[in-house]
């Protein structure tokens, strides 16, 4: 079905920049970049998929059934996203909050051209009908000068809710927790800009440069743009093995090395942050146990500190062996949405989230990734991400955090601002 060719390059970093610049001319783009993170990445350092041959785009109604049919019928590489509001397909829930973005709930495409980077090896996988373009494209990519334009007009970003309203809503969330309705819930707030013109391609490059996360993604599908600096993996399937790596627990970085190390150590030993993480790990274990071989669900890492350019994070790793006859899409359906963005108990938390939040989440706190022809997959969690509809010129990014019985509204608000810092920087040119 596809023709593959492998080339060697002397300067993989330069080629990656050239490849990204070359991709900008296509209507459909999926760019996934590990930023050379060796600790939690997939099989490749970066993947570019462009130019749709076929595609599926739908709202939440029977979305996972439609995706399952599409994935099994194509039996090919597929790239795209699952929005948070597919919860309405998984459970009897609804999404009635304000939506300025109007993204489809699910969108995947089968690319004509896929290019993989692994060290100095560049793999081209083209559909056979266009495989005569491989060598020409390789030469063209090598000739490209970088088109990175850092400067842009500053974007004025507004908060959907005020600080006072945020405190009020956290108070209501805490009431639910104290009554025993839930143990934990992820509460998010939106920042937005209307009637704004941006170059999503170069905003992505700016954001990635200052964040360098292991699950960065740039997606352009029609007018729908995702600019993601995500540090979090949702779920990966490799053969029979499943891997989920939820994040819960955040602390700032410091310029002074000793202070920075102390902040990381304090995060590792913070009882509140640990309890948040452990609650979500239990939720993930429960989700995976529904599709896993009996006794195979294990916690390989619990509350380990990972350090990124902007923040320290507590990350856990949960593995399982998928049971026989479980289709790939079923593994996603069973565990969606991811526990780190919902809460516990999951359904109750999602209902309360919907009631208290002002904006429809859409692709934010959903997932972006790919399927292989063999039915393996790897998806991130869409956080630390800017969403942009180029048609109605609406821009949005959301941030949030886990609310537990021990949450301090002031500290939760400061954590939101910390998570928003990099996105604000690239949008406002500060």
- Determine which one of 45, 190, 232, 273 is catalytic: 232
Q: Among residues 361, 382, 405, which one has the least CA distance to residue 103?
A: 361
Distance between CA atoms of residues 294 and 226, nearest Å = 37
Instruction: Look at residues 425, 409, 426, 430 and name the one whose alpha carbon lies nearest to residue 189.
Output: 409
Q: Which of 185, 172, 169, 178 is nearest to 339 (CA)?
A: 185
Q: Is 232 assigned a catalytic role?
A: yes
To which H or E segment does residue 169 belong? helix 163-179
Query: Is residue 255 annotated as a catalytic residue, yes or no?
Result: no
Does residue 353 contact residue 359 with C-beta atoms inside 8 Å? no
Q: Which two tokens mark 223?
A: 């007018």
Provide CB contacts within 8 A for 266, sequence distance 6+: 251
Q: If we measure between CA atoms, which residue out of 418, 365, 407 comes closest to residue 232?
A: 365
**All residues at 6 or more sequence positions from 354 whose CB lies less than 8 Å from its CB, including other chains:** 93, 94, 95, 96, 97
Q: Between the CA atoms of 359, 277, 170 and 406, what dihedral angle is there, to the nearest 10 degrees?
A: 180
Q: Nearest-5° angle of CA 48, CA 50, CA 54?
A: 130
Catalytic option among 113, 236, 237, 248: 248
- Measured distance between the N- and C-terminal CA atoms of the chain, rounded to whole angstroms: 48
According to DSSP, residue 309 is labeled S
Report the distance separating Cα 154 and Cα 106, nearest Å. Answer: 31
Please count the other Cβ atoms lying within 10 Å of the Cβ belonging to residue 307: 15
Assigned token pair, 55: 């595609």
Asked if residue 276 lies in contact with residue 249, where contact means CB atoms within 8 angstroms, the answer is: yes
Query: Catalytic residue numbers?
Result: 232, 248
């Amino acid at each position: 079905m596809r023709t593959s060719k492998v080339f060697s390059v002397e300067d993989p970093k330069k080629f990656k920049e050239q490849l990204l610049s070359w991709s900008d001319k296509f209507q459909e783009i999926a760019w996934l970049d590990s930023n050379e993170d060796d600790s939690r990445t997939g099989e490749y350092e970066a993947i570019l998929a462009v130019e749709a041959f076929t595609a599926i785009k739908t709202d939440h109604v029977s979305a996972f059934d439609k995706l399952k049919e599409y994935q099994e019928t194509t039996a090919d590489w597929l790239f795209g996203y699952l929005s948070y509001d597919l919860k309405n397909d998984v459970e009897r829930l609804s999404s009635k909050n304000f939506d300025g973005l109007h993204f489809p709930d699910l969108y995947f495409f089968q690319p004509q051209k896929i290019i993989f980077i692994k060290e100095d090896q560049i793999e081209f996988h083209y559909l056979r009908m266009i495989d005569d373009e491989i060598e020409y494209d390789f030469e063209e990519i090598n000739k490209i000068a970088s088109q990175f334009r850092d400067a842009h007009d500053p974007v004025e970003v507004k908060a959907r809710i005020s600080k006072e309203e945020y405190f009020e809503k956290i108070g209501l969330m805490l009431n639910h927790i104290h009554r025993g309705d839930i143990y934990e819930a992820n509460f998010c707030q939106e920042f937005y800009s209307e009637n704004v013109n941006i170059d999503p391609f170069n905003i992505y490059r700016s954001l990635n440069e200052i964040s360098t996360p292991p699950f960065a993604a740039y997606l352009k599908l029609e007018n729908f743009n995702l600019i993601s600096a995500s540090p979090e993996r949702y779920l990966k399937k490799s053969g029979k093995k499943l891997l989920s790596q939820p994040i819960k627990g955040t602390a700032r970085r410091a310029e002074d090395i000793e202070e920075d190390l102390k902040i990381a150590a304090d995060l590792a030993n913070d009882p509140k942050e640990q309890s948040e993480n452990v609650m979500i790990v239990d939720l993930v274990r429960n989700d995976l146990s529904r599709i896993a071989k009996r006794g195979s669900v294990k916690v390989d890492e619990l509350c380990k500190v990972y350090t990124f350019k902007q923040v320290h994070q507590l990350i856990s790793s949960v593995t399982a062996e998928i049971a026989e006859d479980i289709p790939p899409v079923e593994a996603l359906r069973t565990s969606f949405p991811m526990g780190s963005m919902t809460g516990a108990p999951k359904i109750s938390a999602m209902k309360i989230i919907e009631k208290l939040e002002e904006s429809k989440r859409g692709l934010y706190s959903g997932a972006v990734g790919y399927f292989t022809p063999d039915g393996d997959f790897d998806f991130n969690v869409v956080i630390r991400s800017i969403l942009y509809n180029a048609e109605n010129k609406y821009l949005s990014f959301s941030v949030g955090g886990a609310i537990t019985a021990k949450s301090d509204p002031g500290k939760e608000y400061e954590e939101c601002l910390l998570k928003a810092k990099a996105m604000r920087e690239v949008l406002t040119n500060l």
